[in-house]
Amino acid sequence: MNKKLCLDLKKALNTSAVYHEEQLEKTISLANSEYQKHRSRERIGYLEFLFRQIPFMGRRIWLFQGSILILMWLLLTTIFQEDFKYIAARHVPDLLCLSAIFITMTGVPFLCRSYKYKMQEVETAAFMSMSGLLSVRLIVIGLGDGIFLLAVSLVTFSKVSISTALVIFYLMLPFLVSCCGCIFILRSSRSQYNVFTCEIFCLLILLLQFLFHTSVPQAYHQAALTGWIMLSVFFAAVLAFQIYKLMVKFNRICVC
């Protein structure tokens, strides 16, 4: 029985494959056309990718940032009530620094989402370079930061009589310093606690600014505006350098 089965199987397996030449040529042609179609697929451009990311990622970031600022505003007005306008006039640098720092803090977690959720390999496999992906993310976050910094400035002008230049640089300098520190932390370490470290750094800047304002109030007068401008330009250059170094590192290994 087993011997007969073995002979039957051997006979069946030794039979030459049955196919038609016409069908084989048709299959080859279809396979080739599908390959060419896939090969000639248009690669998405940088600007198109950026515009697609705005509704996909920007909506979440901007909604989160807006919610935090609105809650912070409601909290301050509820606590101080009628005295808020008086306190705001006396502590403009502190309130503007607080707003700028919180804007930075709300953007940092979105820079590190791929590291947090272990998605570096997926981003690495994308057609876009890692530096391209990072730059898109930075642009989207930066747009939100700029919009909310402008909103804070407009609210300040409506509540307090103060120089426009002072408001701009009271916001810009702590914002640039906090961004420089956060980018440096993200660039220098691959720890899963990077976001937490950045948030602690931002809170430390907030505390140091309050202590500096209390100890050296003359640094916040109109006469010191030149120093604020020079420091803002310096930290803007440092931030640009830090972003460049982060992009270079992103092309070698995903740190976020």
Instruction: Compute the distance between CA of residue 128 and CA of residue 108 in angstroms, rounded to an integer.
Output: 22
Instruction: Compute the distance between CA of residue 121 and CA of residue 254 in angstroms, rounded to an integer.
Output: 9
Q: Give which of 130, 106, 126 is closest to 255, Cα–Cα.
A: 130
pLDDT given at position 122: 45
The torsion region of residue 118 among left (phi > 0), alpha (psi -120 to 50) and beta comes to left
What does each C-alpha distance from 212 to 72, 165, 167, 236 come to in angstroms?
A: 23, 20, 17, 21
Q: Give which of 54, 15, 245 is closest to 137, Cα–Cα.
A: 54
Total residue length of the chain:
256
Instruction: Compute the distance between CA of residue 105 and CA of residue 196 in angstroms, rounded to an integer.
Output: 10
Residue type, 180: C
Q: Running along the chain, 256 residues long, what does each successive block of 10 average in pLDDT?
A: 70 65 76 68 67 74 80 71 61 82 84 56 51 78 85 79 82 91 83 82 89 84 85 93 82 52
pLDDT given at position 86: 60
Indicate the DSSP class of residue 56. Answer: I
| Residue ranges of domains in the chain | 45-252
Instruction: Compute the distance between CA of residue 210 and CA of residue 130 in angstroms, rounded to an integer.
Output: 38
User: Residues 202-211: pLDDT tens digits?
Assistant: 999 988 988 8
Residue 176 near residue 239, CB atoms below 8 Å? yes
Instruction: Compute the distance between CA of residue 22 and CA of residue 158 in angstroms, rounded to an integer.
Output: 81
pLDDT given at position 66: 79
pLDDT given at position 256: 45
pLDDT given at position 252: 60
Rounded to two decimals, the pTM is 0.70
Block residue for tokens 């391209």: 132
Instruction: Compute the distance between CA of residue 191 and CA of residue 188 in angstroms, rounded to an integer.
Output: 9
Instruction: Compute the distance between CA of residue 89 and CA of residue 110 in angstroms, rounded to an integer.
Output: 33
pLDDT given at position 112: 65
N-to-C CA span, the chain: 66
